[in-house]
């Protein structure tokens, strides 16, 4: 592919990726947001994290179907309990990786 | 809120930010390598791989773009798809804005470039814990960006020689999200929100192609969470 065409593609991709990242922190940080919006936004992290996580545990890739026997789910349960108990980010990442590696060896 | 183990209060802000980025970097390496291998197989040069990682900096959109380029899709179709895939950052940026009131707009603009699912989740947990400012958050974003850029280029260079799935590293980001989600579960409302978001995301991800399910599930769940009712006399507990 010609370089100029490629550049056009990635410049366009960069722009449409940057704008949604940029507009809220640029425009919403000037005056206090209404109370209801702050309350709603306070729930967005839990909502986004759960929405990113749940399908990664129980939905297969292409074609997407529900599968409750994935090793990801099996490993996620003790990883979740470890996180709940220790509240340690580094520890959870290490334990999760170790368990997933073990699961890969055994399953 | 229970005490969270998010340490290193004394070090320099940049050092603190960079240090906090390690789980993200660890997770980016295998994905970046895989992206590099795929992009290189699709005929992209190392320079093209690196410039995409630098200009776009968005994992899933880059994978999709490469497969679309490979399939001969038009530039307009690729850009439109990228926009849809990355629209979720609008929500993340909005919820970060609560912690960035009155900050310098040039710095905010540089910060915004580095908002990804992963940096968002880590920065937000830190902002919440009250030990975080724009300085370390910026450093975290750009450390993660550097790890992404380097691993995608490295993948294009020689990623084929690294065995897939080594040391469970493919689970690093999932484990990180699990722990960061645990940090967010503070009361009944947040638990309900997470449960609704997770169930809705699973159903919607099966029903509709693409990843619009993330935004839809999050919006529905946060709205449901607000509707669960706020505890009397505990207003603005989550804010700032």
The helices-and-strands tally (H runs, E runs) of chain B is 12, 0
Let me know whether B90 and B192 are in one domain: no
Which pLDDT belongs to residue B5?
52
Report the domain count for chain B: 2
- Are A2 and B203 contacting, i.e. CB atoms less than 8 angstroms apart? no
- Are B203 and A50 contacting, i.e. CB atoms less than 8 angstroms apart? no
Let me know whether B47 and B150 are in one domain: yes
Let me know whether B93 and B177 are in one domain: yes
Q: Does the CA dihedral B27-B33-B39-B42 come out positive or negative? A: negative
Degrees (nearest 5) of the Cα angle A48, A73, B37?
75
Cα(B82)–Cα(B180) distance, rounded to whole angstroms? 26
Interchain CB contact of A6 with B (< 8 Å)? yes
Would you write out chain B's pLDDT as a tens digit for each of its 240 residues?
444 555 545 578 889 999 999 999 988 888 888 889 888 888 899 999 999 999 999 988 898 898 888 888 889 989 988 998 898 899 999 999 999 999 999 999 999 999 999 999 999 999 999 989 999 999 999 999 999 999 999 999 886 676 666 677 788 889 988 998 999 998 999 999 999 999 999 999 999 988 889 889 999 999 999 988 665 444 444 444
DSSP A60: -
Let me know whether B67 and B112 are in one domain: yes
Q: Which residues in B153-179 are b (16+ Cβ under 10 Å) and which e?
A: bbbbeebeeeeeeeebbbbbbbbbbbb
Alpha-carbon gap: A20 to the closest alpha carbon of chain B (Å): 5
- Are A104 and B168 contacting, i.e. CB atoms less than 8 angstroms apart? yes
Which pLDDT belongs to residue B237?
46
Let me know whether B106 and B223 are in one domain: no
Which pLDDT belongs to residue B127?
95
- Residues within 8 A of B (CB atoms), A 24-83 only: 24-26, 28-30, 32-33, 35-36, 38-59, 64-66, 72, 75-76, 79-80, 83
- Are B107 and B86 contacting, i.e. CB atoms less than 8 angstroms apart? no
Query: Domain range for residue B39?
Result: 13-182
Instruction: Pick the residue of B22, B35, B95 with the most A CBs within 10 A to test the interface with A by mutation.
Output: B95
Statement: residue A23 has pLDDT above 90: yes
- Residues within 8 A of A (CB atoms), B 87-126 only: 87-98, 100-103, 105, 108-109, 111-113, 115, 117, 120-122, 124-125
For B5, phi then psi, to 5°, come to -85, 80
Let me know whether B173 and B189 are in one domain: no
Let me know whether B115 and B144 are in one domain: yes
Report if residue B110 sits inside a domain: yes
Let me know whether B23 and B108 are in one domain: yes
Is residue B203 helix, strand or coil? helix
A44, A47, A104: residue with CB nearest B168? A104
Residue extents of the structural domains in chain A: 32-106
Let me know whether B30 and B143 are in one domain: yes
Contact residues for B195 (Cβ-Cβ < 8 A; gap 6+): A50
Report if residue B85 sits inside a domain: yes
**H-run or E-run covering A53:** helix A35-58
Cα(A102)–Cα(A26) distance, rounded to whole angstroms? 45
Q: A57 and B230: CB-CB below 8 Å?
A: no
Alpha-carbon gap: A78 to the closest alpha carbon of chain B (Å): 10
Let me know whether B121 and B189 are in one domain: no
- Are A18 and B196 contacting, i.e. CB atoms less than 8 angstroms apart? no
Cα(B190)–Cα(B186) distance, rounded to whole angstroms? 6
Report if residue B240 sits inside a domain: no
- Are A82 and B176 contacting, i.e. CB atoms less than 8 angstroms apart? no
Let me know whether B45 and B157 are in one domain: yes
Q: How crowded is residue B226: how many other Cβ atoms within 10 Å of its Cβ? A: 18
Instruction: Pick the residue of B178, B231, B237 with the most A CBs within 10 A to test the interface with A by mutation.
Output: B178
Let me know whether B216 and B130 are in one domain: no
Interchain CB contact of B78 with A (< 8 Å)? yes
Report if residue B150 sits inside a domain: yes
Mean pLDDT over residues A80-106, rounded?
92
């Amino acid at each position: 592919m010609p370089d100029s065409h490629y550049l056009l593609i990635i410049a366009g991709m960069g722009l449409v990726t940057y704008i949604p990242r940029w507009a809220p922190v640029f425009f919403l940080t000037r005056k206090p947001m209404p109370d209801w919006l702050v309350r709603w936004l306070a729930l967005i992290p839990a909502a986004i994290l759960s929405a990113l996580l749940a399908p990664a545990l129980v939905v297969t890739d292409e074609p997407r179907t529900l599968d409750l026997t994935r090793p990801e789910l099996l490993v996620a349960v003790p990883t979740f309990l470890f996180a709940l108990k220790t509240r340690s980010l580094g520890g959870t990442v290490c334990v999760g990786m170790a368990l997933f590696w073990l699961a890969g060896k055994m399953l | 809120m229970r005490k969270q183990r998010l340490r290193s209060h004394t070090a320099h802000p940049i050092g603190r930010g960079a240090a906090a980025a390690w789980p993200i970097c660890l997770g980016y390496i295998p994905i970046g390598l895989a992206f590099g291998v795929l992009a290189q197989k699709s005929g992209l040069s190392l320079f093209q791989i690196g410039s995409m990682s630098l200009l776009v900096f968005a994992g899933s959109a880059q994978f999709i773009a490469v497969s679309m380029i490979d399939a001969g899709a038009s530039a307009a179709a690729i850009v439109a798809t990228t926009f849809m895939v990355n629209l979720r950052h609008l929500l993340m940026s909005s919820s970060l804005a609560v912690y960035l009131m009155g900050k310098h707009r040039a710095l905010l603009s540089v910060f915004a470039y580095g908002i990804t699912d992963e940096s968002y989740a880590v920065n937000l947990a830190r902002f919440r814990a009250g030990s975080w400012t724009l300085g370390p958050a910026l450093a975290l974003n750009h450390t993660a960006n550097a790890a992404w850029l380097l691993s995608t280029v490295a993948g294009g260079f020689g990623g084929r020689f690294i065995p897939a799935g080594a040391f469970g590293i493919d689970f690093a980001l999932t484990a990180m999200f699990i722990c960061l989600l645990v940090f967010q579960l503070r009361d009944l409302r947040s638990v309900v929100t997470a449960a609704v978001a997770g169930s809705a995301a699973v159903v919607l991800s099966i029903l509709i192609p693409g990843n619009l399910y993330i935004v839809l599930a999050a919006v529905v769940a946060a709205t449901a969470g607000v509707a669960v009712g706020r505890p009397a006399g505990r207003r603005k507990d989550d804010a700032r």
